Chain A
Amino acid sequence: MRPTLVCALMLIASLAVAPSASAQDARLEAAKKEGKVVWYTSLALPSAEKIAKLFEAAHPGIKVDVHRTGSERVMSRLMQELGAGIKNVDVVHTSDAGHFVVLKGKNLLQKYTPPGVDGFPAGFKDKDGYYYGLRATVNVIAYNTKALSPAEAPKTWKDLLDPRWKGKLVTAHPGYSGVIATHVLALVNQYGWDYWKQLAQNRPMLVQSAVDPSGVVASGERAVAVDGGEYTFYQTKKKGNPLEIVYPKEGVPLVISPSAITSFAPHPNAAKVFTDFTFSREIQQVMADSEGLYTGHPDVKYPTDKPKLSDLKLWSVEPEELEKRIDEIKKRFVEFFGA
């Protein structure tokens, strides 16, 4: 089937579930007049571009400006721009839920509930209705199957502290990635800062994005990734790379990545159309299918070659706690790891 046809069908489907068709029509017209939507996102680049292309195909006349970087950089840019009086962004999406606590507190978010999120689990919903979890992933361990046999591979988070992994590990950075910031806090809550202090003794290679450990392990530059978004490992593995994922039994940190419309959105209608689109069952399904993400949507079916969220023991982090401790997380991580 041609992609445009698929998208047209999806558009029709999404309109069908919408509360009021005529209101939607008026909004769509207004959105087309606005012509584009500016999306600051921390979703891995190829995935973000894919969703943007699907949206553009389904909504001719509305362009998506994708600005992808790590969660912490998204926030950094956003605040820098606001400081300089620049109001550029319509939809903001990061993996650091604490950002949304900050933004809401500063009245920088618009209250908006996309249709269909009622059925989402509680962790995906802001109680005041300002932001909703667009997608979720968990942090896992991954290893290169050419370097290690399944028997040799680490099984638990604490296995990684063994000195035999010295020089063989890679970690992403909480100063860049919200997925990792969440992960660091989850493990601090379980094991204390001592865990990270000891892990630093094994001198892991430091990369920035939670996407990057998958590439480092796949290339064989390091044998084991001590963290990273499960969906990027899953995609890398599906591409035929020698990589296997370990889901530690004691628990895996759950990262729910919220999405919200800014209060100053220069393209408010396009922002709403785009938000509705990304929360539609179809796009949530695309994220589950080809990107390997988890979502809050109750009707989404997941690939059979990976565990369901309900099969995993999940460690959650409260957005408020993440917001309070993010500076501490960045500071101590740099203190232990050097950069």
Chain B
Amino acid sequence: MADLIIETRGVSKIFGGLTAVNQVDLEISRGSIYAIIGPNGAGKTTLFNCISGFYTPEHGEILFQDNPIQGFTTDFIAGQGISRTYQNIRLFANLTAIENIMVGQHSNLETAWWDAIISSPRYRRENERSRKVALHWLDFVGLNGFGDYLACNLPYGMQRRLELARALASDPALILLDEPTAGMNPQESEEMMAFIRLIREKLEKSIILIEHDMRVVMGISDKISVLDYGTKIAEGSPKEIQANERVIEAYLGPGGAALAKKYQDRRRKKQNA
């Protein structure tokens, strides 16, 4: 058996009569970049929310490093080593960038409130360390010099990176990225891609990402899963997914595969001519 960081077994999430996620099995190996794609409303973010504990799935199991985590609270799961970013950035807007990262370290720190009041040596040591770690991550995402800005005053691209820094600050084993390049121009998404690779290679983290930008998805992921109406319809390497008829149909509608083929042929002919 491969070394799996996270595994979902038959996970289903039902809202009223709507099955948002339907019997999804995923096996994500340690140190990989795994992408989940699919049309709008396919249940990608719902699956993320199941993993990070915002929702409890009705059926199925989620195993993080071979331990079941479904049904636990979000903060417990975060403490286990899963952190995430959000589709629409959710920073702590009126805290400074550094403070955002310091909050991100919360589950790695252990001094309690009375330590702060009596300012015990333990507390002072930890506070100092936490500040240094925050500065390190600030530097890592290239935001040095902006540490004392309120998060809401940073430009969009920086907010994305800050959110990533906050997610990294707890030193998680697995990071969930929900549309990390949404709203970015091609150059910015290029930078973000390089950055995600860096996280995997330098920090040896496992990454799951949801993404609509196919250039990003095909460029960085080791493996891709496609969701449509809550069901996993395909899984495989970028090459395999590009050629998969069901995937093309999910994106372009019935008959889409033929259509896609037609346009591909036409383009090939043009290139040949």
A binds B: no
- Could you list which residues of chain B lie within 8 angstroms of chain A, going by C-beta atoms? none
Could you tell me which A residues sit within 8 Å of B by CB distance?
A: none
